[in-house]
Amino acid sequence: MGPHRAAGLIVLLAFAQPALAQTSGWHFSPLPGEGDRAAMGCARDATPENFTCLAVRCEDDFTTGLHVHSSRFGGDAGTWDMTLDRENLSFAAETSDSPYGARIHEDADLLLDRLRHGTFVYLRHSGDENAPFAFIDLSGSMKTIAEALYWCAPRVLPAEQNAVSDVTTDPSQLEKNNEPSPSRPQ
């Protein structure tokens, strides 16, 4: 492959990357600035123009955030109806400063647990009563969410770390190689 073709391929891949945000299934979020800090699961019929996704994100304060990300005309804030493994639920999503449309605060831990261990989700904004539900397959959600949240823990500053122990061990108290321990009363 010549240098011109390689450069053309790189440019083509750079322009193709934003479309990855709307592919079906569970994967790392390819939205700008997200890197591997968020897992995103999109509906099976997602396209770059028409998509509904759920995102699990490591927030700046090291908490776990659950977000709705869609191409819905009226935005993502509001009440969403969900069927999660044959159980009907509804939850409120509020506008967020993140790259996603809205964040779910109420019952987010319960929903996160169900997303990890469930099999499917049907999702629709309550304002879109005549629209079909988006089907999100949860295959691979547990692994992708776990990988995205792996580093989501507060870092401990050196001043807050435990000091090195000053406990010393008397070598005569240690067991010697190839010798049995002294007998003790039982």
Look at residue 27 and tell me if it is in a domain. Answer: yes
pLDDT band of 42, cuts 50, 70, 90: very high
Within a domain: 7: no
**Stretch among 9-18, 33-42, 145-154, 156-165 having the lowest mean pLDDT:** 9-18
Domain ranges, residue 35: 18-155
CATH number of the domain bearing residue 98: 2.60.40
143-to-28, 31, 58, 91, 150 alpha-carbon distances in Å: 11, 19, 15, 24, 10
Per the domain annotation, does 178 fall within a domain? no
Confidence band of 10 (pLDDT split at 50, 70, 90) = very low
pLDDT at position 93: 95
Please name the residues in contact with 166: beta carbons below 8 A apart, sequence gap of 6 or more.
Answer: none
Number of domains in the chain: 1
With a cut of 60, say whether residue 8 has pLDDT above it: no
Answer whether residue 2 is part of any domain: no
Domain assignment of residue 162, yes or no: no
Does any domain span residue 30?
A: yes
66: left (phi over 0), alpha (psi -120 to 50) or beta: beta
71 is a domain residue: yes
Q: Which of 14-18, 63-67, 158-162, 172-176 has the lowest mean pLDDT?
A: 14-18
Predicted confidence band of residue 19 (pLDDT cuts 50, 70, 90): very low
User: Tell me: the pLDDT tens digits for 100-112?
Assistant: 989 999 888 889 9
Look at residues 47, 45, 105 and name the one whose alpha carbon lies nearest to residue 77.
Answer: 105
Q: Is residue 23 part of a domain?
A: yes
